[in-house]
Structure 1
């Protein structure tokens, strides 16, 4: 019985509530005095718990000619009810969490001394927030994004939605993708190999959304420039495990202008989708 009480406590019941619950669960139309005697807890505590249980719909309070008796509801209905209550409480806490952090995020390190302010952020090793960092950069961009991507790319519904919002803001999105046969993308949290034909179809989808795309057999670096002011590098190496690689975010307009110039030189020499189609289908 102690194990069952512990299980109920893990669901959120107090020790006394767990004991009253089990007494009701095993019994049938019991009085408060009977429940107190069976569960071995003070009658005053039992009264309070029974009122709470009745209010929450865990048990029914039945008035007889001589006394009030209590009966727990059907076990299947009870299980579903508790599950719904737990899920509802969880969703409410998640909503409160998001509302809270939306309000307090502007305060994050707002009192950080100026001597510690850096325009370079290093994200080293495995970090589950890596993709979120990139998504935040897209989300905060207003006018222009330049992207150079090789071997791996991330295509998530959330990123796709942020890209659409970026285009609605009037932003310009230029991308250079690697066109070799080893191209891989992450669609809805699952990595998939993509053939050149598949890459063309994928790029055509992006183009319809507003993205400008060109292709190179090999791109030298995975990187992006946001609003001519922030540069993102993913220091990818096939010989290094992903958990040992690093990403770098540099917030510096002069450096961003320099990288934009490099991007433009590659852009000018890159192939269009139509060129790749001709190469592929005229073999």
Structure 2
């Protein structure tokens, strides 16, 4: 088998034919017409397999069967075969994507969709924080004990949100964090209600409006992992719990 023939067979397989079907179809194009014996001599398809393969090709509309003794097979023209396979491909594609679209519609019609995502790596958490802040409509509450987590991009996002009327508050027990972000136009700062002296794990907390939340932790090597949720019942309930716990202290 030449490399060109092998590539053609691979291509037919991607169009939905089996390897044997592709080989028999190509052989019959070479022969013009032939019996199972003729096809078996031309290809490596066993003669006993040619009959079932030819029957399958007939069902696909790619060859005609002459009821003679012995049975002879004649392939359809190349143009007709191309049209047949193209139409079949389009039908299968339509059927596949109709199902996917229906699944997507069914998912969208659910009463609630609880999406809780995990983000690993400081840069990726940075990006997620900035994205959430940038989409705020009413308020932003950002808190961290670590000055390293206060990036220029975060400062720009907080200041931009404040400029369009979003209430932006930063809470931190670190004076440097409060001074740095408190110097931004429209950003207010405050001390957290309480904190644990032995806290060496917390990274940052972000609350946006009443339905977006991000919480992160920092490991011993300085790596950061965050969970976040936006537009979900989970986020709304957790925000309420966090705020209620602070009011009780």
In the superposition, the TM-score normalised over structure 2's length comes to 0.44
Q: Which of the two has higher C-alpha Rg? A: 2
